[in-house]
Structure 1
Amino acid sequence: MTITPTDILDTLSELVVVTDTQQRCLYVNEAWCRLFGGTQTDWQGKALEMFAQRPPARLNAVSGDIATPGRFENMFSVNERVYWLEWQQTDSVTGHRTFIGRDITDRKAEEITLRATARNAETGNDTKMRFLATMSHEMRTPLNGILGMTGLMMDTGLDANQKAYAEAIRESGSALLALINDILDYSKIDAGRIDLEESVVDPLSLAQSVAELLSPRAAHKDLEIATYVDPSVPLRLMADEARLRQVLLNLAGNGVKFTETGGVTIEIRAEHHDEPGVENIRIDVHDTGVGIPQEDLTNIFEEFAQADSSHARKFEGTGLGLAIARRIVQAMGGTMSVKSKLNVGSVFSFTVPLKAKTDHHSTRYDCQIQDPVLLVTSSTILKRIVRLQLESAGVRQFHVTEDAEDAHAFLSRHRNAILLCDLPFAAQHGKKLSMAASHSLVLLSPVARGRLETFRRIGFDGYLIKPMRQSSLFRRLSDRDIPQQKTERLDSPATAPAFSPQKYRVLLAEDNQINAVLATAIIKRAGHHVDVAGNGSEALYAVQSAPYDVVLMDMHMPEMDGLEAARKIRELAGSERHVPIIALTANAMSSDRDNCLAVGMNDFLTKPFEPQELIGLIEKWGRASESLTAGADAGHQASA
């Protein structure tokens, strides 16, 4: 029995078609006939429209006679059923073409289902984000009134009990605001909408600012909080500073929260990265807190996880913070890990690859201190961090002790030694130790500032406020004659913006009566004039009726919202169109900020806000108002 090539082709499950130079059918196999009907003879000589417009396949450069296959897909209906076929086309130099097709209908159906699922998921995410953004706005609006009015009330003449009650209200409101922020942040990250911005970051300032923000909380619990940035870390890095600060605040804040004795340290080092100009920046947050059971370490970064139910009851929390922090680090291309021992403490670490803005590592710590340095403290946190700082500064001889007699013996042997004396030892042994040292500095907590004069009288000639800034420590050690200037700290009322003698005329567009009263009180207390508009239409009319230095614009208002009002102000013909507009809104999404800037607003402040934030923006844009108006008008006249 002779088997022909067509007999073999008839056994295939794939469809096989051969056409002539006019795209008429010369041959179809049995699989074709089973799908489309008829016999092989019935199809011979018929024009096949599905192949008529196919371009020639690419000529094979090796053999020169058969063109290389081309792939394509098409869809058609047979007996009211839709089919998808994938074809492989081969052309000969004589003009004949062979098409081999296989049924991919099931695969296409899966692809369509997956695309529909993805669209539904995206729609679901959009719906969820709209709901969360709306709920965030609705909750932030009354929270702004609660926190703001409580702040104003605490500035009045309250007795001790009243002040304690008001402080409890403010702390509860702040906790609720933190929860709202966590939920919104987690939802954005979960939907894949985390926004990362790149700017120049000073890692030393970043670490110090986080420590100083947490310092009052740590001091309240009698905890130490300290930072160390290794000299290997570049002076400047390219990163999203706000997101890095968010992660650090979460980790260090948890450290303070879950620590009863000891303290927290933030340590930053640089590690090698294979890509030129990029450094692996490793940040370790140590605490001496309650620790985490080993069985809980595997899920500590999971959403809503709590390390231990008893800890959860004692310290509270949603368990969202660590999940958010890890997602942020992962979005930056980094990793996060934890090591912990019960009743010993924990170390949370994360590493992120960041571009180095400077080509060389920092040498600013080399202060060439020749004299011995003595640190007297019982704090394991201070012992570790000050030792690291002194080593990085090139201090060749230093001694650490928590024994007053040992300290005095060291000073007796080294008459030129510099004394760093922690507050408890300074209070008890300060006079004896300071008299034996050639230069003495007392280490004060933020709440002990008022005792400075007492320590000066017993012999100390300088001081450092904890958490100590590395730069301040090195300056005090290097130059004994440096004047003790007033120290401004993020944890001090001194950092509230100094009110400018220049008074500005402010227009507040706000439809919520409580928030309008709050903002008006804050603005007037700073010495500025304020008018209130109840909606966007009133704001637009007011801007055209009187000159304003700054407009504070709520986004959601009746009749005309803030976006439309800002757009119409920018379309005005006179100089009033250049007035700085600050969005003052409970909307907290990055898209809201983008929308405000897109219609011509100059800045964005989210409710609830701190009074100094609001006044700072008013004065910033008030100062810019005159130059903005003058510059824009000059440009308009020149173009005319």
Structure 2
Amino acid sequence: MTDCEHSLGCDFARSMNRDSDANSPHRLARDLQRANLEVLAERKRSVELLAELNRTQSELSRVKSSATLETDSRLQAEVALGESQERLQLALDAAGLALWDCRYPFTDVYLSARWGELLGDIALEGNWRAADLVERLHPEELDGLRRQLRRVLDGEVQRTSVEYRFKAGEEWVWLEAHAMVAEVDLRGRVTRLMGTQANITKRKQIEEKATQALLMAEQASRAKSEFLANISHEIRTPLNAIMGLNQLLLGSQQSNEHRQWLQLMDDSSRVLLNLLNDVLDFARIEAGKLHLENIAFPLRPLFESTSKTYLEQARLKSVDMKVYMSPELPSSMLGDPLRIRQVLTNLLSNAVKFTPAGGQISLSVDASREAGLVKRLIFKVADSGIGIAPEQHKAMFEAFTQADSSTARQHGGSGLGLAICATLVKAMGGRIRLESSLGQGCKFEVELPVKDISLPKSDQKMAPQTVAKADVLTDRRFENIRVIVAEDNTVNVRLMRDALRQIGCEVRVARNGDEAIKQWREWTADLVLMDVQMPGVSGLEATARIRELERRMQRPPVPILAVTANAMAGDQEAYLAAGMSGYVSKPVDFPRLFQTMSKALETRASGEVRDTQPSEGHAIYPASTRKRNAHIQQTLERKTKSLQSALARRDPTAAQLELEALVEALSALRAERVLRICRGLEMARHAGEWGLFARAFPLLEAEIAALIGQLGSGTVGGT
């Protein structure tokens, strides 16, 4: 078949060899028509085949393109993942962190290569048995690590961190681990943990050095405080004799010339005492042991008595001093009268010291009001003295600073006064300002927040009053009062004995604590003046023994006053905790001593009357008060028993909590004495002095028992 025949789809030779009928024109035309139809059909099939082929090629091209895109995306993702992992590794390396990974059942742990670098052991990489790693943990940290791990596995936390020691070779290194939950199953159970480790050995070494340095600093501070306390005691003891004997001489018949000499001695002694007090106050401030009272006191008497002293000093120096007190002043306020007086004293003392003859000093005391209520107390001290240059104002409130070196030579002083003033004013929530220029005098303005209260007249009568020196040794309130003086210093013994005898007291002397106890047993004393630091049995121990004997023998408690040169913060609370009734500091100020003695004797007398014969006015009281008092009684009884239990266990945390609860209950009663005993017990607990705590606790029990009795009888009540 020719190519043409093949393309047309027929065999011409075969067709031509047929019979004549087959070669007739009609037959030929029919055959040609059929051939054309077949050719068309074949062509159609070819076109369809070609189209199918094109479609297949297009699909193959699309699939190829899709595969190419997918391959490119996968390659890009792999590249990005590699870069991310590289960045993570760089970050871990930069932070000095190693990775660990642990899956359920947590028997194996994967460690990254960084572990070996951190610990100097290249073997610490790859999969490790958890038990093998546990063997290298420090025994002291094992329990803590287990507790933290258990919290994570129990679902309490999703993340945690812990510091522990790990054995690396022959050394222990400190590691800091951070862990997180990486996977959980359908039931919420943790199935995978991951985390990082960091070697913190150097940091721990630095912290240890810092801790040691802090301990050394604290020890040095304690040593300094002890030194100051001791040196204070050593200075105050002879100073007490000098000032006391001087007062005895001033109270006797003397010529005018001799009296002037004695007055100069007295003034010089007081200057020395003020310097000593400044140093001690600064030491307290530096040690963070400054304690502020928050008690009610009448305001005007404080400023009147303080200014009176400096009015006389100014007059003697030919300086005109004026005092103005606003009628708007509250009658009384809550605060620390001793510290307010100290600030005022420092400012007035400087004004008198630096103002020349013919100059002027003024003290003004005022109050600012808001909405009709007194909110701030303002007092100003101005003088026409030497003044202070503006550039030195800030430095004047710094310790050991004076305007120039010639100031100390000409006027004396420690340079601590204004620094102490600034600290005290700030501690009381106030502020102090200075206005001055060289040669133009100074003006100090102090503002203090005020809580205005009203004191009953009876309380105002009990406010401290200044006793004139001339009347000190002619006071006959103490006629035939029996006093035991426990004192080991011979000069102080003679001083106290002579002073007490001059006011009518009967005196017996004890040279140590044992003798004081013996005198108390053999002689019915009305009062004991007890030195604290004595050879053998100390004053504190003697007091505790006397209190115990009083309970056993059912004798009424005798007032015991601490008379000591110890003047550091916390001394008073410790003495009260030991069972003492009050505190007088050496050098003894006789007006203050006699006032304290009088108050102690009056308290004892009123206590005896109250216990045996309660007044009818207090025997019946409202049901609401009875209910409130009954609740306070129950609280006091319960907390006292809990505190006793904490004491038996020597549990400092429980003791602190129970003391705080007791203080809260007692604050409603304003039971100041019992509150002071609680503060003393708190100091003993904080210092770990369980012996003192145990000796003082029976005193607290007795005081609370008496208080509970008064609550029941209605002689006291909650506020």
Cα distance in 2 between the residues matched to 1:38 and 1:616: 81
Cα distance in 1 between the residues matched to 2:598 and 2:204: 61
Please tell me whether the aligned partners of residues 567 and 599 of structure 1 are also in contact (alpha carbons under 8 angstroms). Answer: yes
Spell out, residue by residue over 1:521-561, the C-alpha distance to the aligned partner (whole angstroms, 9 max, x if none): 11111112111122221111111112111111111222322
Please tell me whether the aligned partners of residues 200 and 236 of structure 1 are also in contact (alpha carbons under 8 angstroms). Answer: yes
Q: Does residue 55 of structure 1 match 2:32?
A: no
Cα distance in 1 between the residues matched to 2:235 and 2:177: 58
Q: What's 2:360 paired with?
A: 263
Please tell me whether the aligned partners of residues 339 and 346 of structure 1 are also in contact (alpha carbons under 8 angstroms). Answer: yes
Partner amino acid for 1:619? S
Cα distance in 2 between the residues matched to 1:58 and 1:215: 78
Greater Cα radius of gyration, structure 1 or 2: 2
Q: What's 1:192 paired with?
A: 288
Q: Does residue 75 of structure 1 match 2:192?
A: no
Measure how far apart 1:591 and its partner are: 2.5
Q: What's 2:105 paired with?
A: 22
Please tell me whether the aligned partners of residues 212 and 489 of structure 1 are also in contact (alpha carbons under 8 angstroms). Answer: no
Cα distance in 2 between the residues matched to 1:357 and 1:258: 37
- CA pair 189-607 structure 1, distance change in 2 beyond 3 A: same
Partner amino acid for 1:22? P
Structure 1: 5+ residue stretches without partners: 62-66, 360-487
More moved, 2-11 vs 563-572: 2-11
Partner amino acid for 1:571? E
Q: What's 1:552 paired with?
A: 529
Q: What's 2:174 paired with?
A: 84
Partner amino acid for 1:246? Q
Structure 2: 5+ residue stretches without partners: 1-77, 138-144, 186-190, 456-463, 614-701, 710-719
Partner amino acid for 1:75? R
Spell out, residue by residue over 1:323-351, the C-alpha distance to the aligned partner (whole angstroms, 9 max, x if none): 11122222223333311123321012233
After superposition, where does 1:257-336 map in structure 2 within 5 Å? 257-260=353-356, 261-270=358-367, 279-336=375-432
SS at match of 1:564: helix
- CA pair 232-169 structure 1, distance change in 2 beyond 3 A: closer
- CA pair 520-193 structure 1, distance change in 2 beyond 3 A: same
- CA pair 298-626 structure 1, distance change in 2 beyond 3 A: closer
Which of residues 554, 572, 580 in structure 2 aligns to 1:601?
A: 580
Partner amino acid for 1:607? K
Partner amino acid for 1:618? M
Q: What's 1:173 paired with?
A: 269
Q: Does residue 584 of structure 1 match 2:674?
A: no
- CA pair 172-38 structure 1, distance change in 2 beyond 3 A: same
Measure how far apart 1:23 and its partner are: 1.9
Measure how far apart 1:52 and its partner are: 6.4
Please tell me whether the aligned partners of residues 544 and 576 of structure 1 are also in contact (alpha carbons under 8 angstroms). Answer: no
Q: Does residue 93 of structure 1 match 2:70?
A: no
Q: What's 1:527 paired with?
A: 504
Cα distance in 1 between the residues matched to 2:478 and 2:291: 38
Please tell me whether the aligned partners of residues 15 and 102 of structure 1 are also in contact (alpha carbons under 8 angstroms). Answer: yes
Q: What's 2:210 paired with?
A: 114
Greater relative CO (CA pairs within 8 A, separation 6+): 1
Cα distance in 2 between the residues matched to 1:106 and 1:133: 40
Cα distance in 1 between the residues matched to 2:485 and 2:240: 15
Q: What's 1:161 paired with?
A: 257
Q: What's 2:306 paired with?
A: 210
Cα distance in 1 between the residues matched to 2:497 and 2:527: 13
Cα distance in 2 between the residues matched to 1:28 and 1:501: 86
SS at match of 1:96: strand
Please tell me whether the aligned partners of residues 481 and 526 of structure 2 are also in contact (alpha carbons under 8 angstroms). Answer: yes
Partner amino acid for 1:43? N
More moved, 580-589 vs 612-621: 612-621
Cα distance in 1 between the residues matched to 2:146 and 2:585: 63
Q: What's 1:615 paired with?
A: 594
Please tell me whether the aligned partners of residues 277 and 355 of structure 1 are also in contact (alpha carbons under 8 angstroms). Answer: no
Partner amino acid for 2:594? I
Measure how far apart 1:146 and its partner are: 0.8
Please tell me whether the aligned partners of residues 111 and 126 of structure 2 are also in contact (alpha carbons under 8 angstroms). Answer: no
Cα distance in 2 between the residues matched to 1:231 and 1:83: 72
- CA pair 560-490 structure 1, distance change in 2 beyond 3 A: closer
Q: Does residue 517 of structure 1 match 2:494?
A: yes
Measure how far apart 1:489 and its partner are: 8.4
- CA pair 507-90 structure 1, distance change in 2 beyond 3 A: same
Please tell me whether the aligned partners of residues 575 and 629 of structure 1 are also in contact (alpha carbons under 8 angstroms). Answer: no
Spell out, residue by residue over 1:420-477, the C-alpha distance to the aligned partner (whole angstroms, 9 max, x if none): xxxxxxxxxxxxxxxxxxxxxxxxxxxxxxxxxxxxxxxxxxxxxxxxxxxxxxxxxx
Cα distance in 1 between the residues matched to 2:354 and 2:562: 37
Q: Does residue 31 of structure 1 match 2:114?
A: yes
Cα distance in 2 between the residues matched to 1:504 and 1:597: 23
Cα distance in 1 between the residues matched to 2:105 and 2:539: 67
Measure how far apart 1:601 and its partner are: 1.0
Please tell me whether the aligned partners of residues 368 and 374 of structure 2 are also in contact (alpha carbons under 8 angstroms). Answer: no
Measure how far apart 1:493 and its partner are: 5.1
Aligned length: 505
Measure how far apart 1:499 and its partner are: 2.8
Which of residues 33, 40, 43 in structure 1 aligns to 2:127?
A: 43
Please tell me whether the aligned partners of residues 570 and 577 of structure 1 are also in contact (alpha carbons under 8 angstroms). Answer: no
After superposition, where does 1:350-389 map in structure 2 within 5 Å? 350-357=446-453
Identical-pair percentage: 31
- CA pair 29-538 structure 1, distance change in 2 beyond 3 A: same
Cα distance in 2 between the residues matched to 1:304 and 1:41: 62
SS at match of 1:290: coil
Spell out, residue by residue over 1:190-217, the C-alpha distance to the aligned partner (whole angstroms, 9 max, x if none): 1111111111244333322321232221
Partner amino acid for 1:18? D
SS at match of 1:284: strand
Q: What's 2:74 paired with?
A: none
Cα distance in 2 between the residues matched to 1:583 and 1:535: 14
Please tell me whether the aligned partners of residues 367 and 374 of structure 2 are also in contact (alpha carbons under 8 angstroms). Answer: no
Cα distance in 1 between the residues matched to 2:374 and 2:217: 36
Cα distance in 2 between the residues matched to 1:334 and 1:208: 21
Partner amino acid for 2:111? V
After superposition, where does 1:441-452 map in structure 2 within 5 Å? none
SS at match of 1:547: coil
SS at match of 1:571: helix
Please tell me whether the aligned partners of residues 233 and 270 of structure 1 are also in contact (alpha carbons under 8 angstroms). Answer: yes
Partner amino acid for 1:506? V
Cα distance in 2 between the residues matched to 1:41 and 1:30: 5
Under a length normalisation based on structure 1, what TM-score does the superposition of the two structures give? 0.71
Which of residues 346, 369, 392 in structure 2 aligns to 1:250?
A: 346
Partner amino acid for 1:193? K
Spell out, residue by residue over 1:267-321, the C-alpha distance to the aligned partner (whole angstroms, 9 max, x if none): 34445899x9993443322122221123432311222212133333221111111
Which of residues 217, 229, 232 in structure 2 aligns to 1:136?
A: 232
